[in-house]
Amino acid sequence: MRAFKIPRWTKRNFYRKNIILCGDALGTVMPVSFEGIYYAMKSGQFASEAIKQNDLALYEKLWNERFGKQFLIMKKFQDFMFGNDKRIDKWLNIHRNPHIQELAMALWLRKEKGNKLIPLYVKAFGGIISRIALTQVKINM
């Protein structure tokens, strides 16, 4: 059996000279859900449009217009919530709530509505994030 790391989203160059990165090579895996097939296909679609128009900068522009904000929000959310075991436990436990489960599934299945669903998903964790932030402030005082 072989296992490979899931590529993590980081801000990368979409192309260099005549080489275009798509899918796993670009790291188009949504933080938190770790779903990448849809985003890999969209990156290929955007890259092909840029090639057709002979404008490689268009590729990054199309990606950022469609997914840039979503990936940025979820990356920050992931970095915070997955920062230690205690936070991961809280993240997992909140998913016992059927409403959170439904929202998480909608986020995964309805990617075209990500701009509307991601803020709702992150907002569902607002209380946890606020309590953690307050605890950290008290510890640092």
Domain boundaries, the chain: 15-140
Q: Is residue 139 scored above 70 in pLDDT? A: no
pTM for this predicted structure: 0.78
The predicted pLDDT at position 43 comes to 95
Q: Is residue 76 scored above 80 in pLDDT? A: yes
The predicted pLDDT at position 137 comes to 41
User: What's the rounded Cα separation, in Å, for the pair 124 and 95?
Assistant: 10
Residues constituting the chain: 141
Per residue in 83-125, pLDDT (tens digit) is 889 888 888 888 888 888 888 888 778 777 777 778 877 777 7
12/140: higher pLDDT: 12
